[in-house]
Amino acid sequence: MEDGRNGSIEPGEPTAAVVAFPRNPDRRQVTFDRRELSAILNLYGRMVAAGEWRDYAIDHLTDRAVFSVFRRASEAPLHRIEKTPKNAARQGAYSVSDAGGRILKRGADLVRVLAALEKKPRLVDI
């Protein structure tokens, strides 16, 4: 391949250019702050240790931030934890929904909303 300088590319040099799109300052993204992400990742770690969850994805959109959890990366998310600031005054900025899109819990306190996803002990007949 040629790079235009001397006709060859040195070994180890990247062959493709990375194009970075500038952020639009007029359209700010909603993000999770450090405290929120810490609470979410604490729950995620416990659920991974229990064998319930295996992967996650974070999406920062213009109107909401979404933390999706998966049993397998190739499947649809088991649960979505959303932060929607425009709902903060009415029903709370945070919500947790299941795979079918049903909202399990909504509120202004993230820790209380995340409690809906905590693994509850089950009684087993022996």
Domain boundaries, the chain: 34-117
pLDDT of the residue at 72: 82
- Strand, coil or helix: what is 96? strand
Question: What residues contact 119, with CB distance under 8 A and at least 6 apart?
Answer: 46, 47, 50, 52
Query: Structure pTM?
Result: 0.73
Segments of the chain with pLDDT less than 50:
1-2, 18-21
